[in-house]
Structure 1
Amino acid sequence: FNNAIIDAAKRNITVKVITQPETTRKILKENGVDIKEFQSRKTIHTKLMIIDGQIIIVGSHNYTKNAFNLNEEVSVITNEPETVNRLKQYFDNLWSLY
């Protein structure tokens, strides 16, 4: 999954990531991805993807092979405008904190 993010950034697609794992931050940042580190005693467990500002994917899964192939996970994909706007606001609020 990191490779897909890096490929998008190299094609000048705006990619913003809020993450905790240092290894993920380092790899993505070295490849031109705009990264913010989630700094809190809490764990950021939300997996939220906003595509072109119009489609949201949100769910419990990590973006790993095991999560997609071995785990029982649930995610939702929507383009419903009110839901998209609320989740964009959620992301933008987190982004502005860091």
Structure 2
Amino acid sequence: MIIIFLHRCLLLFIMSIRVGIARLLVNVAVGCCSAALTYVMYTYFNKEQNEVLFFYGNNSTSCSSSNSDNTINALNHCNCMDCNVLKIISWIDGAKKTLDICLYVFNHEMLLKAVINAHKRGVCVRLILNEDNSRLTWNLGCIGIPKRVKNPELNSNLMHHKFTIIDNKRIILGSLNWSQNATRSNWENIFITNECEIVNTFKQEFQRLWLEFND
């Protein structure tokens, strides 16, 4: 009887080990699948995205669809300098939380309208300018968009940056001022990227200027 009892105990012990190993293997497999899925999703949603746009100093390259309220539809039916403006507007329209704008000149009415629309839908907009001598940018302050302007009495040098940070994860930068003259008459370039190191460097510069410049 004792031998039979011990034999049964041994069988139960072996079976429990097998069940434990099976459960362990299942848990390992589930963990690996979960980790792989997480990696794929992270890679997909955080993949590096870069784009370069050029403006060619030819004010004849405009199109009738540039004034369309449907930006995506206009982009699909347009191939001109105004389409580059519409692309900038589409990035502004895509802002969900924050929009930090640092420009030497800002008086392009379509871009101003896009920024105002972002403010109205709850995006936290901040604006840094070299000078605030435009009726259009004055209006931004009137509707509650905070601005900082270089004080010419403290520093006569120019604040010549041109960059915009969207949701702290994408940046538009380059030679382009947001003005009608720049988009229609000048040779200009802009570079759009979500590369973290570049975005973070410009975030630090924006914050430095925000603290340095007066309201």
Does the TM-score normalized on the shorter chain lie above 0.5?
yes
Counterpart position of 1:28: 140
The CA deviation at 1:47 is 0.8
Quick check: which one's strand share is greater?
1
The CA deviation at 1:6 is 1.3
Q: Deviations over 1:52-91 (max 9, x none)?
A: 1000111111112321222101221111111110011011
Secondary structure of 2:197's aligned partner = helix
**Alignment of 1:91 onto 2:201:** no
Structure of higher RCO (CA pairs closer than 8 Å, 6+ residues apart): 2
Counterpart position of 1:71: 186
What is the letter of the counterpart of residue 200 of structure 2?
Answer: N
Ranges of 4+ aligned residues in structure 1 off by more than 4 Å? none
Of 92, 100, 113 in structure 2, the residue corresponding to residue 3 of structure 1 is: 113
Q: Whose radius of gyration is greater, 1 or 2?
A: 2
**Alignment of 1:14 onto 2:129:** no
TM-score scaled to structure 1, two decimals? Answer: 0.90
The CA deviation at 1:26 is 1.4
- The alignment yields a C-alpha RMSD, in angstroms, of 1.3
Secondary structure of 1:3's aligned partner = helix
Task: Quote the Cα distance in structure 1 between the aligned partners of 2:186 and 2:133.
Answer: 24
Secondary structure of 1:73's aligned partner = strand
Between the two proteins, the alignment pairs up a number of residues equal to 98
C-alpha contact (below 8 Å) 1:25/1:37 kept by paired residues: no
Aligned-pair identity (%)? 36
What is the letter of the counterpart of residue 21 of structure 1?
Answer: D
**5+ long unaligned stretches in structure 1:** none
Task: Quote the Cα distance in structure 1 between the aligned partners of 2:182 and 2:137.
Answer: 20
C-alpha contact (below 8 Å) 1:10/1:32 kept by paired residues: no
C-alpha contact (below 8 Å) 1:18/1:35 kept by paired residues: yes
**Alignment of 1:49 onto 2:151:** no
Quick check: which one's helix share is greater?
2
**5+ long unaligned stretches in structure 2:** 1-110
